[in-house]
Structures are given as structure tokens and as C-alpha cells.
Amino acid sequence: MLSFDPGPEMAAELERVRVLGREFLRPLGIEADLTGEAIPAAHPFFQKAWELGIGRLGPDDREGREVGNSGERTAARRGVLVAEELAYWDRGAAVALPGPGLGAPPVRRMGTPEQQERFLGRFRDPSRPRWGAFAMTEPAAGSDVAGIRTSARRDGEGWVLSGAKTFISNAIRADWIVVWATVDPAAGRAGHRAFVVERGTPGLEDMRAEHKMGLIAYESASFTLRDCRVPSANLLGGEDHYRARAGFKGAMESFNATRPMIAVMAVGIARAAYDAARAFAREHYVLARPLPRHQRITAKLARMARKIEVARLLCWRAATLADVEQPNQIEASMAKAFAPAAAQEVTSLALEILGEAGVRQDRYVEKLYRDVKAMDIVEGTGQIQRIVIARRLVGYPAAS
Ligand SMILES: Cc1cc2nc3c(=O)[nH]c(=O)nc-3n(C[C@H](O)[C@H](O)[C@H](O)COP(=O)(O)OP(=O)(O)OC[C@H]3O[C@@H](n4cnc5c(N)ncnc54)[C@H](O)[C@@H]3O)c2cc1C
């Protein structure tokens, strides 16, 4: 079942990602890290990437499915292969790439055909790069997704949203943001609704970038919704969708689809750190003196390689299950709990191998060490994943 032979087409795609990564993503990620500024939306690289089709949806992408020559669905497996490679070159610059991003899964899974066309169709337009965003987190509700307080109040033909969101990737440059709100805080998850809020909507205010320790190449934005009026047509799935109590399920399904991709990005960062440490060790230790004298170094490298391999396999398993449309919640959570923690250890060991050179900015590894922490936080922290796994293992019902 765990077949990851990419095949010639996928191998060619990965090679294109490698070229993109070497020539653009890594240099732009380093530049952003040094200047402390995200890559500007108007950067010519984004226009060029868009023209090449990067992030742009093709005619069949509306369904979010890709079927290989064998008739098998392969989108999730292709996704993890590309995500690891992108993150290897620079995870921050990769997230800055145009496209609907995390906003796409809820539109695909919950949106009506008309909404899918209206919000995703524009991502097929080759004229200029576009971004989408996904806004769940609030200043007082991160892990406890059910505790969001952004309110949605029906008013005539539309809805009025009030509240605040924080740390939303690419929100400043997004054409639209999928905003999660509640019609009844006492109802918990059953009260959740997802609205697509278009850029420029009155009441979408105070948009500002947060300063973060790593992944500087893309903006994490906070904003306020002040009596922000949204048409009924922008309620994802329409009211019928929520009468079926599918709102929270929709959000969670989005996470199950994207968690293996986030987890495998940690693998990509870890692999970059491992490569840097191995090159350094070969240059400074192994070639200079016999290998056995440096067991402490080589044992670290072996540990790093093992952790990377195990983490990658967990991500692949979760993605494979997604492709064959089997439940993958526990596997996605295992991947997400394991891979970022493993990647944090790997980047830390890489720093140790480099010694004092490791903390020098021009060595790149210290940047990876700062970049990798966010992978443990986003899309459900490591602690939350462990809770999800434990609930399943002891047979508690899944959150509903
Ligand atoms: C770089 C970056 C990009 C992001 N992008 C987005 C985005 O695009 N859209 C979006 O909606 N959000 C985004 N987020 C927000 C992210 O999803 C939240 O930070 C995350 O869900 C954790 O929430 P929190 O930060 O409020 O931490 P809290 O929920 O306040 O948790 C704080 C700590 O307590 C732990 N904890 C919480 N509850 C428990 C528990 N029950 N048992 C044990 N430990 C617990 C957590 O693991 C964590 O270590 C982003 C965050 C970052 C850092």
C-alpha cells in the first residue's frame, strides 16, 4: 500500500520544484530572514511563478482530486512529495507562493458548486498572482477551536461578522479569507459557520503583520472584523450545510487533509538541516581524520537520518489513506505529532554538529532551527495531536 515511486511525471515535477527552490525559494527566504520583511506581493518572482502555473489552478483542480494513469487518486501523495521538497528549499518562501492555500480545502469540501466556481475559478486566471487565506485562530482561541468568539449575526439578506483573528497566513495579500465564526457561542462547534470575506469588504480592518521568530518570508496577519457585512451567498455551503451539522466536521476534514502536508514540511526542513550538517561533518571531520574517531558526530547523523525516515513514512501513510478515502485522523495526527518534534531534534543536532559555526547567520542552520518551531504549532499543536491520538486509542468518541 505504501508505494511512493513517483513515476516519471512526478519525478519531472519534483525536479522543477528543485530548480525553483534552488534558484528562488532559498535565496528569497534568506533575504527575507535577513531583512525581517516578507517577500512583497508585487515581487516579480510571484508574477513569473504564476505565469508558470505555480499555485494557479488548472481546469480540473476545482474538485481537488487528481487521478493517476492507473485510475487511482494520488493528490495527497503528490501533495506530500511536493510539500517536502518545497520546505527543503525554504518553507517560508513556499507558503508565500501565490494560490488559495489553506482557504481551498473548506471551499472545496463545503462550498456549493457556484461558490467553488466564484472563489476558486479566479485562481485559474493567468493575469496576476492571487492568494487565499484561512482564519480560524483568535487571540483567545487557538487549540480550543470550539471556543472561537467571532460572531455571525443574520441581518436582512446578509450576515454581520464581529471579532478578531490572529496569525492568519497571507491574509494581508489575500483576495478572500475563509473566516470561521459562531452563530451561538453556547452551541460550541455546532454554532460554527464559515464565510468567505472578500478583500476590501467594509469592516475588515486593522490588518497588520505579526513579527515572528522564523518563516519571515510570508506574513502572519492579525485583523479585526468590525460589523463586517457579508452577503448570504458567501456562507460556505449555505444554511442547508449547517442544518446537517456539517460545519465543524468541514473544518476538521480540512485539517485531516492538510495535516500530513504540514507534517511533511517539517521533514523537508529537517532534511535541509541534515544535509548541511552532513556536508559540514564530511568537510571538517570525516575527511580530515578517520571516521571512527568521530562516533559522536556520526551517531548524531545516523539518529537524524532515522528520525527523518520515520517521520516521512508516517506522513506518507496518512496521505495514502487520504487518497484511498479511508479515515486517516489518527494517522494524520501521528504524523503531525511526530514529524515536527523529530525535525526540532534534527535541527538542534545539526547546530551541535556545526558547533559555534551553527549559530552564525550565514550558515543557514540557525534559520532552520528558528523556522521549524512553527511546524509544531500550526494545524494543531503537538500536544493537541497527542490528545487526539489518545482519545482514539482508549476509544473515546472523536470530537463532534
Ligand atoms: C506561523 C504560524 C502560522 C499560522 N497560520 C494560521 C492560519 O493561517 N490560520 C489560522 O487560523 N491560524 C494560524 N495559526 C495559528 C495556529 O493555528 C495556532 O497558533 C495554534 O492553533 C495554537 O493556538 P494558540 O497559539 O492560541 O495556542 P494555545 O491554544 O493557547 O496553546 C498554548 C499552549 O498550550 C498547549 N495546550 C493547549 N490546550 C492544551 C490541552 N488541552 N492539553 C495540553 N496542552 C494544551 C498548546 O499545545 C500550546 O503549547 C498560525 C500560527 C503560526 C505560529
Query: Is residue 398 a part of any domain in this protein?
Result: no
Sign of the CA dihedral 33, 38, 42, 45? positive
Query: Is residue 1 a part of any domain in this protein?
Result: no
Residue 22 burial (CB count, 10 A) = 12
Residues with a catalytic annotation lie at: 379
Q: Are residues 131 and 210 in the same domain?
A: yes
List the single range of 53-67, 76-90, 296-310 with lowest mean pLDDT: 53-67
Could you tell which of 90, 377, 388, 391 is best to mutate to test the pocket of ligand 1, judged by most ligand atoms within 8 Å of the CB? 377
244 or 7, greater pLDDT? 7
Question: If you take atom 1 of ligand 1, which residue's CA is the nearest one?
Answer: 374
248/54 Cα distance (integer angstroms): 30
Residue 287: the pLDDT is: 66
Report how far ligand 1's centroid is from the alpha carbon of 288 (Å): 45
Cell numbers for 366, please give them: 540557525
Q: Which of 212, 243, 274 is the last residue of a domain?
A: 243
Overall domain count for the chain: 3
| Residue 141 Cα: closest atom of ligand 1 | 26
Query: Is residue 383 a part of any domain in this protein?
Result: yes
301/167 Cα distance (integer angstroms): 34
Q: Which of 193, 220, 243 is the last residue of a domain?
A: 243
Q: Are residues 208 and 94 in the same domain?
A: no
3-class SS string, the chain: CCCCCCHHHHHHHHHHHHHHHHHHHHHHHHHHHHHCCCCCCCCHHHHHHHHCCCCCCCCCHHHCCCECCCCCECHHHHHHHHHHHHHHHHHHHHHHCCECHHHHHHHHHHCCHHHHHHHHHHHHCCCCCCEEEEECCECCECCCHHHCCCEEEEECCEEEEEEEEEEEECCCCCCEEEEEEECCHHHHHHHEEEEEEECCCCCEEEEEECCCCCCCCCCEEEEEEEEEEEEHHHECCHHHHHHCCCHHHHHHHHHHHHHHHHHHHHHHHHHHHHHHHHHHHHHHHHCCCCHHHHHHHHHHHHHHHHHHHHHHHHHHHHHHHHHCCCCCHHHHHHHHHHHHHHHHHHHHHHHHHHHHHHHCHHHCHHHHHHHHHHHHHCCCCHHHHHHHHHHHHCCCCCCC
Query: Is residue 400 a part of any domain in this protein?
Result: no
Q: Which of 49, 73, 99 is the last residue of a domain?
A: 99
Q: Are residues 267 and 223 in the same domain?
A: no
Tens of pLDDT, residues 153-205: 999 989 999 999 999 999 999 999 999 999 999 888 889 999 999 999 999 99
Instruction: Inform me whether the pLDDT recorded for 361 exceeds 90.
Output: no
Tens of pLDDT, residues 224-270: 999 999 999 999 999 877 766 555 565 666 566 788 999 999 999 99
CB 346 within 8 A of CB 306: no
| Residue 212 Cα: closest atom of ligand 1 | 1
Residue 179: the pLDDT is: 98
Tens of pLDDT, residues 11-69: 898 999 999 999 999 999 999 999 999 999 999 999 999 988 888 887 765 444 455 55
34/28 Cα distance (integer angstroms): 10
Give the pocket of ligand 1 (CB within 6 Å): 102, 134-137, 142-143, 167-169, 212, 215, 220, 374, 377-378, 381, 383-384, 387
Report how far ligand 1's centroid is from the alpha carbon of 181 (Å): 17
| Residue 102 Cα: closest atom of ligand 1 | 8
Query: Is residue 248 a part of any domain in this protein?
Result: no
Question: If you take atom 53 of ligand 1, which residue's CA is the nearest one?
Answer: 374
Q: Are residues 139 and 204 in the same domain?
A: yes
Question: If you take atom 27 of ligand 1, which residue's CA is the nearest one?
Answer: 142
Domain span at 194: 109-243
CB 376 within 8 A of CB 300: no
Q: Are residues 94 and 113 in the same domain?
A: no
Q: Who contacts 250 (Cβ-Cβ below 8 Å, separation ≥6)?
A: 106, 109, 110, 194, 236, 237, 241
Q: Which residue has the cell 473544518?
A: 251
Residue 260 burial (CB count, 10 A) = 32
Could you tell which of 148, 212, 381, 388 is best to mutate to test the pocket of ligand 1, judged by most ligand atoms within 8 Å of the CB? 381
Residue 290: the pLDDT is: 62
How buried is residue 211: exposed, middle or buried, by Cβ count under 10 Å (0-12/13-18/19+)? exposed
268/108 Cα distance (integer angstroms): 27
CATH number at residue 13: 1.10.540.10
CB 130 within 8 A of CB 98: yes
Q: Are residues 113 and 151 in the same domain?
A: yes
Tens of pLDDT, residues 325-342: 888 999 999 999 999 999
Report how far ligand 1's centroid is from the alpha carbon of 183 (Å): 23
CB 337 within 8 A of CB 386: yes
Q: Are residues 94 and 114 in the same domain?
A: no
Query: Is residue 28 a part of any domain in this protein?
Result: yes
Residue 49 burial (CB count, 10 A) = 21
Mean pLDDT score of the chain, rounded to an integer?
Answer: 89
Q: Are residues 57 and 81 in the same domain?
A: yes
